[in-house]
Amino acid sequence: MRGMAVLAILLTAAGCRPEAPKAPAIPLGEARLAVPGGHIWSKVSGTGPGVPLVLLHGGPGFSSFYLKPFEDLGNDRIVIRYDQLGGGKSDTTSDTTIFNIRHFVAELDSLRSALGIAKWHVLGHSWGTILAVEYYRAHPDRVETLTFGSPVFDADAYERHAAELLATISDSAQRAIRRAEATGKFDTPAYQHATEEFDARYLWHHPVQADLDSTMATMNQGIYVYMQGPSEVTIIGTLKHYSATALLPQIRVPTLLTVGGEDEVGPDLVKSHAALIPGSRYEVFPGAAHMTPWDARDDNVRVVRAFLRSADSTRAATR
């Protein structure tokens, strides 16, 4: 110990300072992390020097396959893609006691802690935007920026918009949906065909077939129905009256909101939410449905890349 102290004095006298210890490198590749209820799967990719980015998929109960395009940002920064507990490559579960926002926020922060990241960019899509904004509410000091893709910050307003969109699909599909909602029987072929017609117009136009197949094969229907409902148009789960509109004006980090021009969420609704967030950016991808990472792949990656680079530059300039 005395020798180290003498060395430090000599280095200081010579105009040199010992280098500060470097933070441990974030391990690349796939991993599994124990969380309450099971293990979650994650994949860390990229080698760029920018602040790391974490991707929060939609659902709930779905997976991150459709967020793969954002791994293209790896030449700028570390990118963390993971599957929330219950879906995708993570452990499945039927435990409804953890089908709630609080669990998924804690799960996300467990991943951050395990990777040794002090602060990261957070990108959420659809249900993932609820998780992102609630994570910010709980841990604002751990969030560098927020990107909200097709956000759902007002479930009642979303449901009203979905009802308007229903008027644009076939009469037979509309009748099937009304019948199912009146009887509570959502497992009929007629209802399934009707919701598939809606999805084809407003959920996705150009899916990556292999990733869509993987998504549907690993979907946790139990979580989706419990928190959302039987489909994108019938909201009867625990998120039915969710609202984050009171929180949006309190956001104090750079924020980007994106939406497809033919998105089930609706550009007007997303624009109204962008107006509540001080200094936020708003971007529409014409012709894209809800799954903009598929329908507007290159434009979506380009816009997010520019936003994150700008935030990193501002951060560096103020250090």
Q: What is the pLDDT of residues 110-124, one digit of tens each?
A: 999 999 999 999 999
Model's pTM, two decimal places?
A: 0.91
Q: What is the pLDDT of residues 85-103, one digit of tens each?
A: 999 999 999 999 999 999 9
Q: Pick the catalytic residue: 273, 280, 290, 312?
A: 290
pLDDT for 16 equals: 45
**Dihedral Cα 31, 56, 132, 299, nearest 10 deg:** 130
Q: Answer whether residue 5 is part of any domain.
A: no
**Res 316: pLDDT:** 72
DSSP code of residue 263: -
> What sign has the CA pseudo-torsion 75, 76, 78, 83?
negative
Is 111 within a domain?
yes
- Position 192 confidence tier, pLDDT thresholds 50, 70, 90: very high
Q: Note the pLDDT of residue 25.
A: 82
Structural domain contains residue 163: yes
- Of residues 35 and 16, the one with the higher pLDDT is 35
CA dist 226 and 211 (Å) reads 24
Distance of alpha carbon 27 from alpha carbon 24, whole angstroms = 9
Instruction: Based on DSSP, count helices (H) and strands (E) in the chain, helices before strands.
Output: 11, 8
Residue 166 in any domain: the answer is yes
d(CA 279, CA 3): 53
Question: Range of 132's domain?
Answer: 24-317
> Quick one: pLDDT band at residue 20, thresholds 50, 70, 90?
very low
312 touches 50 (CB < 8 A): yes
125 is catalytic: no
Catalytic (active site) residue 90: no
Per-residue pLDDT at 4: 41
The active-site residue out of 76, 263, 295, 312 is 263
Token pair of 69 as six digits: 């395009």
- Residue 17 within any structural domain of the chain: no
Determine what percent of the chain is predicted with pLDDT higher than 90: 89
DSSP symbol at 307: H
Structure confidence at residue 127 as a pLDDT band (50, 70, 90):
very high
- Examine the pLDDT at 8 and tell me if it is beyond 70: no
Q: Rounded to whole angstroms, how far apart are CA atoms 300 and 247?
A: 25
What is the Cα–Cα distance from 163 to 212, expressed in whole angstroms?
Answer: 25
Instruction: Provide the mean pLDDT of the chain.
Output: 93
- The answer as to whether 1 is a domain residue is no
Three-state secondary-structure class, residue 17: coil
What's residue 319's pLDDT?
67
Check which CATH number belongs to the domain holding 39 and give it. 3.40.50.1820
Domain count, the chain: 1
Residue 9: inside a domain:
no
- Give the active site residue among 42, 63, 90, 126: 126
pLDDT of residue 313: 85
Known active-site residue 241 = no
Q: Is the peptide bond before 60 cis (omega within 30 degrees of 0)?
A: yes
Give the pLDDT confidence of 29-56 residue by residue, as tens digits. 999 999 999 999 999 999 999 999 999 9
- Give the residue carrying structure tokens 């990241």: 117
Q: What's the full length of the chain, in residues?
A: 319
Residue 13, in any domain of the structure:
no
CB 226 within 8 A of CB 99: yes
pLDDT confidence bin for 315, thresholds 50/70/90: confident
Compute CA distances 195 → 65, 168, 186, 234, whole Å: 22, 13, 10, 9
270-303, pLDDT tens digit by residue?
A: 999 999 999 999 999 999 999 999 999 999 999 9
